[in-house]
Amino acid sequence: MQPRNHRILAAGEVVRIRDIGKAGHVRTPQYVRNKVGLIDCYVGLFENPEERAYGHIGCEPIPLYRVRLRQNDLWPDYVGSDCDTLVLEIYDHWLETVNSLEEPQ
């Protein structure tokens, strides 16, 4: 893991989706946790739904990204094509940068 320093990640950077073990109204599905993919794009700043869901309106907005993963990396027995991918939205604090897509998961 490399320090994030709260900079905005650029498209193409390699990231691992963390499993921060947070309970409640989290928007990071289980099936992508600990998986490695690429930043597809930076979407913008949004109030954290993990807070908003409990009435905490007006918190400091946080960066949201679209992260693209290879289906073969998500499912070891994936039966589609090797070129198939999945993109989903991940908030900054669920991401850490890694060196390559081949980083152990």
77's enclosing H/E stretch is none
User: What mask of x and - would describe binding to another protein in positions 11 to 30, judged by CB under 8 A?
Assistant: ----------------xxx-
- For another protein, the closer CB: 14 or 88: 88
Is 84 a binding residue for another protein by CB under 8 A? The answer is: yes
- For another protein, the closer CB: 78 or 102: 78
Chain-centroid distance of CA 71 in Å reads 15
Number of residues that bind another protein (CB under 8 A): 28
Q: Using CA atoms of 94, 1, 36, 15 in order, give the dihedral in degrees to the nearest 10.
A: 70
Q: Which of residues 27-66 bind another protein (CB under 8 A)?
A: 27-29, 31, 43-44, 46, 49, 64, 66
The SS3 call for residue 60 is coil
Nearest residue to 36 via CA among 5, 63, 67, 2:
67
Q: Cα–Cα distance between 56 and 19 in angstroms, integer?
A: 23
CB of 40 to another protein, least distance (A): 10
Residues that bind another protein (CB under 8 A): 27-29, 31, 43-44, 46, 49, 64, 66, 68, 71, 74-75, 78-91
